[in-house]
Structure formats: C-alpha cells, structure tokens
Structure 1
Amino acid sequence: MKSKKIISGLLALTFVLGGAAIPGTVVDNSVVASAAEVLTYGDYEYTINGGTAEITKYTGTDEVVEIPGEINGAAVTSIGEKAFVDCETLFEVTIPDGVVNLDSHAFHNCYRLIKVSMPDSVETLGRDVFSYCRALKSVTLSKNLKSLSYRAFYGCNELADIQLPSAIKTIDDEAFRSCSNMENIDLPEGLESIGKDAFRECAKLSAITIPDSVTYLGSFAFLNCSALADVKLSVNLTEICISTFQNCKSLESIVIPEGVTKLDYGAFYSAENLKRISLPESLKTISLRCFSGCKKLEELTIPASVESIDKNAFGTVNVINCYNGSVAEKVALANGINIKVIDAKDKTEYPDLKSAQFDSKYHQFRINWTKVEGAQQYGIAVNLAGKWKVQAYTDANTTTFTSPKLKSGSKYDMAICAKVNGKWETTDFTKRAFTIAVK
C-alpha cells in the first residue's frame, strides 16, 4: 500500500511538470534503437538496413535453393543468424554474389546439406555457420575469406577435402573439429594462427604441413587424429601446446623445429607408435606427461639447453641421451631412467658419468664413468647423514659399478672419485654429485 502511494505521487508530479521529468534525448534514443521491420518475400523473411537486405529466415522446404541476390530492389548482403538453422530438406544451396556476411549458425544442423557454393564477395563467417551439417561433402569458399570462424565446420562428418583460400590468416578454435572423414587439407602459406581443437578428432587425417607463416598452433589442435602419420611443423613456432598431438597413434617420427622453447603438458601423450623425435637446441622446458604413453619411444636425446623437466615427463622412455651435468641427466637419474652421456670423453680430469642402467626386477643399478689419467683406484661415494663416505671401490681398469640389491624407491646422493698419486681427487665434488633412484 505504501509503495502504491509513492508511485501515484511520482505520476502526479510528472503530470504537474508537463512531462519535464523525461528528457527528450531518451525519446530520441528509443527511436534509434527500435528493431528493423521484418518483411516477407516468398519463402524468405528479411530486414532492410542502410538500403541493403539481410535474410533472417528461410521458411521453405526446397531441396535445392538459390538465394536471391536482390529483394524488391535491395541487394542481399547478409544471411542472418540462424536463417537456415535445422532446415531438414535442404540438399544444396547457392549463395548469391554480393553477400558479404554469413552470420552465426546460419546453416547450423542442416544435416542433409551436401553442397554449398559461396561467392568471392563473402568476407566473414559467423560462429557455427555450418556446424553439424553432417552430410556436407562439397564447399566452395570465398577467395576473400581471411578467417575460418569458431566451429565453422564442427561435426561435418562427410567433409573429406576442402580447398582453403590463400587469403586465410586464421583458423579459429574447433573450426574442423570432428570432421571424422577429412583425409586431406592444404594449409596456405600466409596462414598465421591455428586455434585450439582446430582439427581435433579428424580421425582420417593422415598428413599435415604447417606452413612457416604460422606462429601459433593451439592446444589439442590434433588430439585424437589417430591416422596422422606425417607432420611438418612451422619453423616459426615457439611452443608445442597442451596435448597438441595426444593420441596420434600413427605418428612415428617428428622434428621439432629450432626456435621452439617449450613442450607443454601432454604434448605427445599416448602417441603410442612414436619412435623418433628430434628436439632443438632452443628447447628450455619439457612439461608433465609430455611423452607419457609413448610406448615405442625407447630412446630420447635431450639438448643441454633444457632448463626444466617435469619428473613425470618421460613415461616409458627407456634411455635418455643427455649431456654431462645437464638437467636431463639429473632428472633421469633421479627417476630411474637409463642414461647415456653424449659428450663423455675417454679420459678426463676427474670421473664423469657416462651411462646408467636400472633393473626394476632386482632393484639394482649399474653406472659407468670416464677414465682418469694416472688413476690408481676409483671410489663410489655416498652422502650419508650429510657426510660423504666411500662405500665401494674398483681397481684402475674398472670403470663400472653394479649395486647390490636395494630397496625399491630409495634414493642416494652419489659421486665417483679417483685416487691419483695416493690421494683421493675431490675437485668440485658436490657439483659432480648426482641422485640415483632405485626402481
């Protein structure tokens, strides 16, 4: 009751002031913001804006449709949002010359649509423009398209091949996701960016060349591309993002170009037939599960440039080829992964580790080191309670040591020293130390 009295009072005040409480500018804005009138032309609903027409809805049931280029003297320049959405009868559509824009979801879920002819006047595609057109086999794209929109062809199961125009700069996220029959696509030189999930679940895609103009390749870009066997990467990439090649089960080898600094989480996770991978000297970071599930990747060479490696990056990799004193050497030894030291010399000033092997059945390890000129004896020292103690010895001709059976999971800080001229050589002793994990 009280609120009704207040409202009545305000209305009375407005009438007394002759409407002065409502400024004229508000009235003007309401006129400007009014929606365009929806008109009808045959099977089409449309609006007029700036003298040109936008088709907003198709109400017909024809199987083959040629969209008019002009309606009552107004050029058709846009196919509006959801104009043909869920059109069950549509098999083929021709978009007229002069159309500049296909708005979001314009042909979404036209699940019988087989063929689309697009004029070169088209410059922009809205999101999901042809998503879930499951029968779509043939698309002629405008030569003036610069971007393939978000989910543009998502779920177009029958789309086996598509010719991209040379003007394309961007393939947006999920643009070709779940195009399960796509076998081939040529990416034009000049393309700059490939979004997340762009080719995810393109199960028949067997080869891809990323042109050198591409500087960004998004996460999950080729996830679950199970037939992908041949990949050439752009030399201008700086990162292989999260799960980019996860579950690419046909991929056997790949070269990571110089300039890449990071392999992100799960980059090659479960690429189970990957046997060879070449890593660049620019590489700094190898992330969690990068090579987990790569069952046939028995040997991996890690450049000395790498500064950070997650302890769970390697999965079942059997041997790490690494450099003396490198992060890769330390991580491998600390996680029970066999190593071979690339830059090991025959003779050195003090013993350098050359290799390490681990036996998970008997919980033992074997290490091999470089010879030292004039060495009379070698000692395997272990840090126990903060003090270094020699726990085993070998003669001057033996540069290999096999541990006794130890407890699985235990870790030891170790170093190898040499006795020269009756004295144990301990130069940079703690820097030369390494941690061994028993499998």
Structure 2
Amino acid sequence: MFQGCSELKTLTLGEKFTEITEEMDLHSYNGWANANEPTKRISGEHENAVIKNEGKNTYIRIRRVPYVYYLRYPTNIKVEYSENYHQVRITWDKVEGADRYGIAVYLAGKWRIQTSKITETTYTSPKNLTPGKTYKVAIAARVNGKWDTANAIKNAVTCTIGDNNSYVKPDREIKYGSELYVIDDEVTMYLGPDTSYGKVTT
C-alpha cells in the first residue's frame, strides 16, 4: 500500500482505519509518532511501521536530531572556606539531566560516601574540619538512574583546610618562578605534590 512513498511525512487515519500492519510497507525511518506527542515513537522497532489507531489521528515521521554529548560528571568545582566554622562550601556546574549528586571523600585508602541525596549544585561540609588537613573530594552525578563514579574519581579535587584559605589543586601545575607577588599579609604557597606548604609573610 505504501511502497514507494519515501517522501511521506504526515499521515492521517480515520476512525475506521484501525491498524497499519508491517505488510503495508510503510517504512519506519526514524519512527512514526502521533502528532499530539511528536517525540514518542509508536510505530514499533521493525523496518516497516506497525501502528494501532483508535479514532481519527494524524501521525508524523520523527525527525532525526543531531546527537549531543553531555558530560555526565560535575566540572568547574570550587571550594570556599569559612574561618569562623572551619568548614568548606563546594560548588560545581550543573550536569545536564542529573537529578542527584553525591559527595565522596578519600579517607584511609578508600572512597567513603558522605551523601548521595544532593539536588542542588552546592554542598556544605560539617563544621570544625582540622586546619592544615588535606582532603581529596569526588563529586558524582546521577543521570537516568546511573552514577558516573569513574569520571568523578578521575576529576576529584584536592583541598587543604587552612587558617585563611583552602586550595583546590589545578588540572595543570606550573612551577613558581622568580616573579612572586605578595597580595596579603600572609600567603600560603602550594609547592607541588609530596611537598610541604610554605608561607610567605610581608
């Protein structure tokens, strides 16, 4: 019936036309949908469409849309330190499609989940964290019911609780040189992995 109708993009069926079967040769392409729900495929998974029709309905061919890749883990992670309460506030960019976020901290050789019920893009730690202690923190997102913990761990950040600041380790480290500008009475310098922190005073 529909053989050779490759340009057909819209189809209206009356109430007496109750079904389009596979034998009618209506090609599925990307699928057919009711015009009232244009993104919901109702034509089956076969090469030819199978449509059950009730009443008078208009059906349309689903258009192919470009594939868009979204990151499934938080990025642009920032840490703010409260001197008064010795706690940190962590923020990150929203992950497309995420309905939950989780925080894990690396302690005693293991990743330990602190919470997995965060619905916003911010987390405030418990109070009275130990000044000078370094924490490695991973933030995961749940998208379509799945947690991407692998990328969360790969992109974990390291922060050190300080009297005046917290430090987030950058993706790329550059050795400090002779040009050092002191912008405060006391500045904590990060000297690289496995190196102690040094302070410069004015």
Q: Same fold (TM over 0.5)?
A: no
Provide TM-score, normalisation by structure 2.
0.41
Structure of larger gyration radius: 1
Provide TM-score, normalisation by structure 1.
0.20
> Which structure is richer in relative contact order (CA contacts within 8 A, separation 6 or more)?
2
Structure with a larger share of its residues in strand: 2
